[in-house]
Amino acid sequence: MRPVRLKDVARDLGVSLMTVSRALRNHPDIGEQTRARVLKRVEELNYQPDWMARGMVTGRSYLVGLVIPDLMHSFFAEIAMAVSAKLTPLGYQVVIANTEEQVLTEERHVSVLLGRKVDGLIIASAQRNARSPMFRSIAGCKVPLVLIDRFVKGAEASYAGSDDEGIGDLATTHLIEEGCRRVAHIKGPPLSTGRGRLQGFRLAMKRAGLPVDEQYVVPGDISDTAGYDAMRGLLKLPKPPDGVFCYSDPVAAGAMKAITEAGFSIPGDVAIVGAGNVHYSDLLRVPLSTVDQGCSRIGEGAADLLVRAMEHREMTPPELVLVGPRLIVRESSRRTS
C-alpha cells in the first residue's frame, strides 16, 4: 500500500491535480463545493501531503533545528519543550541536536541541518567565536538564527537568554544580606553565561564593600560532579567560605553533597545559592535557593524571534529578549529569619 498521492486523489475524483492541491491549501481560486468534495475524499483516503516534495518547490522545509549542549540538563530540556510547544502549532517540526558541549559535534550537526534546508536555527552554542566557519555558513545560507542562553559577540543573530550579570548580582547580594562574609563563587564555562554571572558576583561584592579573595573564585563547569570537586577544594582552604554562589543548580547540588559529606551544615556553616531553578531543586538534600532564569520564557522568546525572522523573506535586524532573573529563597541560604 503505497502512500496516497495528490495525483491519486485527483484521478479518483475526476478533477485535475491542481484542484486538489488548491483545495488542500485553502487557495481562494476554487469553488466552495468543489473544495468540500475534495476535502471529504482527501479525508477518506487518508491522504498525507509529502512535505519533502512540497518543500522542494516552495523552498520551505518547515523544519527548525534546535542545537543544545545537553538534553539531560533540565534547563535545556525545558527550553526544548517550550520551543516545540510554540513551533508545533505553527506547522514546524523541531529537530533537536545534542552537542555534548563539543564544538566539533556542534559544527557537524549544524552542517547537516543546513543540508536539510531547515527554515531556522536556534543554538546554545559552545563556540565563542562568531567568525567560525559555522556562523559563516549559516549566514551564507541566509538561515535565520537565534542564539539562546549563550551570547556570541559579533554573530549576526537574535538572542534570547537571561540577564546573567543580574543573576550573579542577585544571588551574591542575597548571600551577603544573609550574613555571609567570605563569599565564594564556583564558576561556569567561559561563555557569556559564566562570565556574566562572575561579573555580577564581583559587582555585588564590590557594592557591599567586601574584598574578593581570588582563592574563593574557583573554576567549575555545568555538571554536578564539577560542583562536587570544586567544593571539596574550597572546604580544604584554611578558612572555608561561609557562602557560595554556584554557577548553576546542578553545580550547587554537587557542592551540597560535598559539604554534607565533609560534615558541615547547610546553611549554618555554608550557605548555598544556585541558578536555574531546575525542577528538582526543591527536592534536594537541603531545598536549594536559586535564581530562576525563566527557561520556558527563554524558549518561547527564542521561538517568537525565530518565527518573526522566518516569516520575513528578507533579513530582519537582530533582536534581543532578556528574561529578568528572580530570586527564590529556600532552606540552603536561609540563615536569618
Out of 7, 44, 45, 49, the only residue in the binding site for a copy of itself (CB under 8 A) is 49
Query: Do residues 184 and 243 touch, judged by C-beta distance below 8 A?
Result: yes
Assigned C-alpha cell, 64: 527548525
Q: Is 140 in the site for a copy of itself (CB under 8 A)?
A: yes
Instruction: Point out which residues pair with 147 in neighbouring strands.
Output: 123, 159
Instruction: Point out which residues pair with 98 in neighbouring strands.
Output: 68
Name the minimum Å distance from CB 47 to a copy of itself.
Answer: 9
Question: What 3-state class would DSSP assign to 320?
Answer: strand
Q: Is 141 in the site for DNA (CB under 7 A)?
A: no
Q: At what angle do helices 164-177 and 192-207 cross, to 10 degrees?
A: 40
Q: Is 25 in the site for DNA (CB under 7 A)?
A: yes
Out of 14, 28, 115, 263, the only residue in the binding site for a copy of itself (CB under 8 A) is 115
Name the minimum Å distance from CB 29 to a copy of itself.
Answer: 24
Out of 17, 24, 95, 212, the only residue in the binding site for a copy of itself (CB under 8 A) is 95
Find the binding residues for a copy of itself in span 221-260 (CB under 8 A): 224, 250, 253-254, 256-257
Out of 12, 39, 54, 215, the only residue in the binding site for DNA (CB under 7 A) is 54
| Beta carbons within 8 Å of 292's beta carbon, 6+ residues apart | 276, 277, 325, 326, 327, 328
Assigned C-alpha cell, 269: 556553616
| Beta carbons within 8 Å of 114's beta carbon, 6+ residues apart | 137, 138, 141, 143
Beta-strand pair 320-323/271-273: unpaired
Name the minimum Å distance from CB 317 to a copy of itself.
Answer: 19
Q: Is 21 in the site for DNA (CB under 7 A)?
A: yes
Name the minimum Å distance from CB 73 to a copy of itself.
Answer: 9
Q: Is 93 in the site for a copy of itself (CB under 8 A)?
A: yes
Give DSSP secondary structure letters for 165-231: HHHHHHHHHHHHHTT-SSEEEE---SSHHHHHHHHHHHHHHHHTT----GGGEE---SSHHHHHHHH
Which part of the chain contacts DNA (CB under 7 A), choosing from 16-24, 124-132, 202-210, 294-302?
16-24
Q: Is 77 in the site for a copy of itself (CB under 8 A)?
A: yes
Query: Do residues 167 and 252 touch, judged by C-beta distance below 8 A?
Result: no
Residue type, 239: K
Q: Is 7 in the site for DNA (CB under 7 A)?
A: yes
Return the one option of a copy of itself, DNA, none that residue 137 interacts with (CB less than 5 to 8 A, by type).
Answer: a copy of itself
The footprint of DNA (CB under 7 A) covers 2, 5-7, 15-19, 21-22, 24-25, 28-32, 34-35, 49-50, 53-54, 56-58
Contact residues: a copy of itself, CB under 8 A: 1, 3, 46, 48-53, 55-56, 61, 71-72, 74, 77-78, 80-81, 84-85, 88, 93-98, 109, 111-117, 137, 140-142, 224, 250, 253-254, 256-257, 279-280, 282-286
